[in-house]
Amino acid sequence: MLPRMAIAPLWFFVFLSALLLLSAGGYAQAPSWTWQAETVDSGGAFPSLAVDKQLNLHLSYVRTGGSIMYAFRPAATSQWFKLSVDPGGGSANMTTGIALDSQGNPHICLTPGPLKYSHFDGHQWKTDFIGANTSLLEYTCSIKISDQGVPQIIWYQTHNEDGTPFLHIRYAAKRDGIWTTQTIDFDFETGKWNSIALDASGTPHISYSSLSGGELRYASLDGDKWTVNIIDSRNFKDNGSFNRGFGNSITLDQDESPHISYYHDTLLKYARKVNGVWKTEVVDTVSGSRGWSGYKSVILLDSHGLPHICYEDSGAVKHAYWDGAKWRIQLITAGGLQARWPSAAIDANDTIYIAYRDSFDSSLKVSIGKLSNQTVKSVGTTSGDH
């Protein structure tokens, strides 16, 4: 006779279900983040934010009046220390980008042109001009520092030295004290919105817009040659409507596979590579924007490898995240003033930091989100393969 099998108590099945959910890479409960805002400066725009391994915050931004500022906030405090790293030029198209090296020292790119690179070497701030001092550029620049200490910058160069239009995305890296530069894509109007990520070997992976094609593009460097892929295009599926790729942002997961957020007219979208094929899906419907500076998204991956996107929606700043089953959306701050230009970073504890210009008094703020389990709005997704 076979022995009688014991019947497990109900709590065991509850525990097993939770364990299986965690092992699948998701959260046992639908997570959320609670937010608290800090004021960095009474005026500021175009911020770029980073957090180091010690949980200190680093921020670059354009101060009211045009000077380029660096702000530092030690971990577990709310006090910000600020200094000017460049007098700037007061242009409406001036932006900054910040990255940290392995020692936690800040490196900043700034436009408009000529392109400048300022960094703290552990003792003092130093500034380089990249390329010809008379070459003009505007709009966005993006910067990363490799584990080997090599600064790499991309930007949208609008003019040649003689003042004639150029309108291509450019790349520069500094090795052995020398900057080398090259053009990534020679198609017309490529790179007005751009973002860069580096893999463990220091190889750049770049997302950028192509206005002439209405496309989101992705490029990686193989030796001295760029490989370019079209991720999304107005020529895909819907007979040429609307541009794609505005306000794009790229990051790499632990397998060095790219994840990209971007705008497609009034849609915020997310792209990733699955089994060698690019998949795109809708995250949120947005209200659109006026002008180039109102399109900004930042994509982050948390400790579970799940994506978070911080973005602007016609003046409102939002946080969207994938909980393992669906996209959930939080409103960080309501709309009002357009072109908030949010920037974001995430630390090892999955605390999220979002910098933005305040809608009501134009002050520069950082909202800090800590993990909780409050209920938030959820949205469905649509997806497609390209």
| Domains within the chain, CATH numbers bracketed | 34-385 (2.120.10.70)
Q: How far apart are the first and last CA of the chain?
A: 59
Per-residue confidence band for 287, with pLDDT thresholds at 50, 70 and 90:
confident
Each residue's pLDDT tens digit, 290-305: 677 778 999 999 999 9
Each residue's pLDDT tens digit, 211-257: 988 999 999 998 889 999 999 999 887 656 778 999 999 999 999 99
Which residue did the predictor score with more confidence, 222 or 90? 222
pLDDT at 381: 44
The pTM for the full model equals 0.89
Quickly tell me which residue has 């890296």 as its tokens. Answer: 173
Q: Which two tokens stand for residue 184?
A: 């990534």
Q: What is the average pLDDT across 334-348? A: 84
Are 365 and 38 in contact by the 8 Å Cβ rule? The answer is: yes
SS3 (DSSP) at 78: coil
Are 336 and 309 in contact by the 8 Å Cβ rule? The answer is: no
Each residue's pLDDT tens digit, 352-381: 999 999 888 889 999 999 998 654 454 444
Are 258 and 203 in contact by the 8 Å Cβ rule? The answer is: no
For the cut 70, the answer to whether the pLDDT of residue 59 exceeds it is yes
Which residue did the predictor score with more confidence, 114 or 312? 312
Contacts of 303 (CB under 8 A, 6+ apart): 348, 349, 350
CB burial class (10 A; 0-12, 13-18, 19+) of residue 131?
Answer: middle
pLDDT at 360: 81
